[in-house]
Amino acid sequence: ALLAACSSNPKPLPISALPAITPAEEAEAFVDSAEAVLLELSEKAGRAQWVQSTYITYDTELIAAEATEEYLAASVELATRAADYIDAEGLHPEVSRKLQILVSGLTMPAPADPQKTAAVTRIQT
């Protein structure tokens, strides 16, 4: 019996024994993840734009456009996903506000086609 308890293949917990994640908790986790992604991409785009502004060359314009393209594409994707959580029951007011900002914060949404997104960011830069 003791050897059976030390088995290297423990039985997984039944699904009913796992804690259920509420939609509000899922929304909060999504917001935390979205904030981290957008912060990282925003800093990357900001650095690229600073270099482009101080060293004006074709290469720095391309680097800035690519960083902006990545940020814009992520913003659109996250805004689309945030809309799925807007009406979740039990949302903390802060999470609800952040979801609203994600959804309504796009001033110029990127096209769904990645090639068109690349073209738009190169025109803007």
> Smallest Cα–Cα separation from 35: which of 90, 99, 89, 96?
99
Q: How far apart are CA 98 and CA 24, in angstroms?
A: 13
Stronger pLDDT, 13 or 88, i.e. the higher one: 88
- Alpha-carbon torsion (67, 68, 71, 73), positive or negative: negative
How far, in Å, CA of 5 to CA of 101, rounded?
Answer: 51
Residue ranges of domains in the chain = 23-124
Closest CA to 72 of 26, 2, 33, 121: 121
Percent of the chain with pLDDT over 70: 74
**Residue 64 confidence (pLDDT):** 95
Residue range 16-47, pLDDT digits in tens = 656 778 999 999 999 999 999 999 999 999 99
* Coil vs helix vs strand at 88: coil
pLDDT score at 124? 59
pTM of the model: 0.70
**How much is the pLDDT for 15?**
58
